[in-house]
Structure 1
Amino acid sequence: MNITRENIDALNAVVKVDIAKEDYSDKVEKILVDYRKTANIPGFRKGHVPMGMVKKQYGKAVLVDEVNKLLQDALNKYLTEEKLDVLGNPLPKPQDDLDWDSDVFSFEFELGLAPEFEVALKGKKAITHYNIVADKKMIDDQIEHIRKQYGKIIAQDTAAKDSEITGTFKNEEKDIENSTMITLDKFKGKTTEKQFIGAKVGDVITLKTKGLYKDDHDLMKALKVSHDDIHDMDLEVNFTIEEINAREMADLDQELFDKLFGKDVVTTVTELKDKIKEDSEKQFAQQGDQKLLNDVTEYLVDHTKFDLPASFLQKWMQTAGEETMDADQAKEEYEKTEKSMRYQLIEGKLIEKHDLQVKLEDLKAHAKEMIKVQMAQFGQTNPSDEELEGIAARILSNKEEVKRMSEQLMSTKLLNLYKAETNLKTKEITYDEFVKEFYS
């Protein structure tokens, strides 16, 4: 067997594999001898079929199968030994005139090679890391929400500005019928609010959907329609009032504090505000980190310049998926995924350079922490090491779960690298400002 490579350019190569008769003949002969022992052909006792007949019936199929096995093994071994960093998979060049009666076979494969490049984490322009804080308004709103949530519900005869009104939205033409609870502060205009104030159970109020809510997502939930249907929706809906309630807010006392956080963890309103601020900002930190991860990813893709074997990758994509694509479809798919491919190469380079491997002990420690949090939610605050080891072992036997945790841990390792190595500036921002700036 002989393997040679021709480098077309820095990103493309062709590998030629020559397979001679001596490479496969012994294996083919052995398999045919075994076939002869078990072949069941009418007119012959098992094990006494003439070898010529066995070769005639099975020889070509065995030959093709063995040559293909040799070919794949040789190609994989060659790529490993030569340390070739290939993209996609080798693509066999078409051979319409292949003669399987020959003693020597030649096969050619196109290769797409990964580019050589360096990653510079520290750029001239600083990337912003947002420190999201809970401001006074947010803390006060959260306390009001808690007081309402734990307060008493009192039935009302007529609707008032702060009533909780339960009823059903209906529009027969669009097959809309959804029961829900509404509060008047969600509506966009004062006119809608006036329609409800003074209304009674059984009243039917006709509303126009266009501009009804301040936020279209609230309208989507109220009508129980899809995200696509809600945009530019302009129709009339009837709301039938079924129940009107007022909510008497709970007192900020020790009983409420204990319900929220456990006995005597919080004992004053000041401690309550501090606790809400602390817990909220822990959650916000995750969102700030995710934003940083996204921004650094975008920066690295935009500022790490290298070429890809685009023509090869588009050709590979035509047959790589579950469904085959034509050339135009593959080109469109390549354009959609090019940024993702670029980042995968950049990420791989960073992982190798900074030795960011996720090890078994990392996965086990992560699984145990995850289990502790889940058990604490059910009041089990002090599980034994034996319990944790047993549950962690079950989790780590699930390949999908291991894959998910590995990706999560690698994201954390990359985030820590970015925090340590990239040019960052910190900006303090309230949660409302953060949402308005990046998600509105």
Structure 2
Amino acid sequence: MATVTRENIGLLTDKITVNVSKGDYLPSFEKSLKQYSKQANIPGFRKGMVPSGLIKKMYGSSVFTDEVLKTVEKELTTYMSNEKLEIFAQPLPLPDNDSRQIDFNNPADYSFAFEIGLKPAFALADLGSAKLTRLKVDVTPEMIDEEVERLRNRNGKMTDVETVGSDENVLNIQFTESDAEGQPVEGGIQKDNSLLVKYFNEATRPKWMGLKKGDFLVLQPSQAFEAKEREWVLNDLGLDKDDAAGADKYFKVTITKIGLIEKPELNEEFFKTAYPGKEIATEAAFRDAVKDDIQAYWDGQSRNQLQHTLYHVLLDQTKIEFPEDFLKRWMQTSGEKPKSQAEVEQEFPSFANQLKWTLIVDKVVNDNSIEVDPEDIRAFAKQQLFGYMGMPAGGEEQPWVADYVQRMMQDRKFVEDTVHRIQTEKVFNWAETQIHPTDKPISKDEFQHLVEEHQHHHH
């Protein structure tokens, strides 16, 4: 009868030895040989009538080895299941295992040893005592004014005009990389764009006044735009916003079309267009709705920032030990191509962090009975579809929407990715219920600066 023994050989690392006797594997070996006899297709013999001696001679050795190893694997799996062992990856056969010891001609007792890496017990970081700040962006009247103008421009009527006469003119322009005199650079950048005159800085705007289609200016982005506008113009030209030499390039900027947006009046008709489904009758109520939208956006950005901080608190302050030697040996042999020790040492810190985060998420999910049900996945698929199509969520569901959702529910990769995404979101929702952050008012510019600094730090 098979026996299984277990001993500790290192931090969270055990050795499991499986001993099998002849009585454990010989019955299944004989059964497998009979199956081969029934199925073997050998010239000169009718199917199912091949002598057992011939089958034994032809296939006996390989079938014998397979059955011994299958018996060992079965005993190992049963033992781990009965003992409820929480392990990393798969058991690793120890180097002293040698299948060549299995001798078909001399059935005997065999012993195979495996190394397992055990998952550790651990306590989560104490989120309740973490000193955290929740940033609250202050929505200013200027921010509301900007958004009101953006909505009016977006819903305005464009008309063509002959001459540039206002900061509100829309210029369809072509950027052509050139020298300081406007002579094109061979192989240089060429890009069409559309800009309001007011996007240029105060020194440049007057230079456009009175110009017509076909007229041009020779400009350097570094001299023609303030920081914010320069950043997205450079990005559109395929240049790095932090590349001073790129910002100093000369461009011949030619007008291809001049437009003027006739902005709608601030009346109920416009309010209904901007906010369909909301009963807005006055400009004050409209500005309140705009403010709510802006606040919701920045609250969402602030929440993202807080969750990012929570991620680092959980990762950095949760103490977890790992069976490092076992995991490194597993990393060397688990992939399609074996890794060198040097490659494993280089990759291990990142691998351990990912493993640590997985354990943290699993613990939060299990301890708090967090579940992702099919309705969660359907709602996400619907939300994603509406987002792609720029449609408002809600309202009566159309048949084609239901068909799309049903198709996505059959897509295994989509379902797996969505479950992971929703589960992570629910973990952060739980984490937010554990903390006591201090609210801190902050300006939009300060908030953006903090985010940029953080991104530079982590890159």
TM-score (normalised: structure 1): 0.84
Match of 1:6 in 2: 7
Match of 2:67 in 1: 66
Gaps of 5+ in 1: none
Superposed displacement of residue 27, structure 1 = 1.8
CA shift digits 1:139-197 (9 cap, x unpaired): 1110011111122323333445443221233346556332221334445x656556545
Match of 1:410 in 2: 423
- Determine whether 1:168 maps to 2:178: no
Conserved? CA contact 2:97–2:112, under 8 Å: no
CA shift digits 1:193-227 (9 cap, x unpaired): 5654544322344444567652465134432x376
Conserved? CA contact 1:201–1:244, under 8 Å: yes
Superposed displacement of residue 230, structure 1 = 6.6
Match of 1:78 in 2: 79
Q: Specify whether residues 378 and 10 from structure 1 end up closer, same or farther in structure 2 by C-alpha distance, changes over 3 A only.
A: closer
Match of 2:32 in 1: 31
* SS, match of residue 111 in structure 1: strand
For 1:238 and 1:96, locate their aligned partners in 2 and report how far apart those are by CA, in whole Å: 74
Q: Specify whether residues 98 and 72 from structure 1 end up closer, same or farther in structure 2 by C-alpha distance, changes over 3 A only.
A: closer
Conserved? CA contact 2:386–2:392, under 8 Å: no
Conserved? CA contact 1:121–1:422, under 8 Å: no
CA shift digits 1:383-419 (9 cap, x unpaired): 49x9998876655443333334433432343233223
Number of residue pairs matched by the alignment? 437
Which of 187, 200, 203 is 2:215 aligned to? 203
Match of 2:293 in 1: 279
Per mean C-alpha deviation after superposition, the further-off stretch among 51-60 and 155-164 is 155-164
Conserved? CA contact 1:121–1:418, under 8 Å: no
* SS, match of residue 99 in structure 2: coil
Code of the aligned partner of 2:308:
N
For 2:187 and 2:64, locate their aligned partners in 1 and report how far apart those are by CA, in whole Å: 65
Conserved? CA contact 1:212–1:219, under 8 Å: no
Superposed displacement of residue 362, structure 1 = 5.4
How large is the RMSD of aligned CA atoms in angstroms? 3.6
* SS, match of residue 89 in structure 2: strand
Code of the aligned partner of 1:83:
K
Q: Specify whether residues 236 and 414 from structure 1 end up closer, same or farther in structure 2 by C-alpha distance, changes over 3 A only.
A: same
* SS, match of residue 110 in structure 1: strand
Match of 1:307 in 2: 321
- Determine whether 1:437 maps to 2:442: no
* SS, match of residue 89 in structure 1: strand
Q: Specify whether residues 360 and 379 from structure 1 end up closer, same or farther in structure 2 by C-alpha distance, changes over 3 A only.
A: closer
Q: Specify whether residues 105 and 47 from structure 1 end up closer, same or farther in structure 2 by C-alpha distance, changes over 3 A only.
A: same
Which of 165, 178, 196 is 1:183 aligned to? 196
Q: Specify whether residues 437 and 262 from structure 1 end up closer, same or farther in structure 2 by C-alpha distance, changes over 3 A only.
A: same
For 2:213 and 2:382, locate their aligned partners in 1 and report how far apart those are by CA, in whole Å: 53
- Determine whether 1:348 maps to 2:349: no
Q: Specify whether residues 363 and 147 from structure 1 end up closer, same or farther in structure 2 by C-alpha distance, changes over 3 A only.
A: closer
User: For residues 351-390 of structure 1, what are the structure 2 equivalents within 5 Å?
Assistant: 351-359=365-373, 377=391, 381-383=395-397
Code of the aligned partner of 1:307:
E
Conserved? CA contact 2:271–2:286, under 8 Å: yes
Per mean C-alpha deviation after superposition, the further-off stretch among 361-370 and 292-301 is 361-370
Superposed displacement of residue 33, structure 1 = 1.2
Conserved? CA contact 1:206–1:239, under 8 Å: yes
Gaps of 5+ in 2: 178-184, 454-459
Conserved? CA contact 1:254–1:267, under 8 Å: yes
Percent identical residues: 29
Which of 143, 158, 163 is 2:148 aligned to? 143
For 1:10 and 1:379, locate their aligned partners in 2 and report how far apart those are by CA, in whole Å: 52
Q: Specify whether residues 231 and 113 from structure 1 end up closer, same or farther in structure 2 by C-alpha distance, changes over 3 A only.
A: farther
Code of the aligned partner of 1:247:
I
Conserved? CA contact 2:218–2:250, under 8 Å: yes
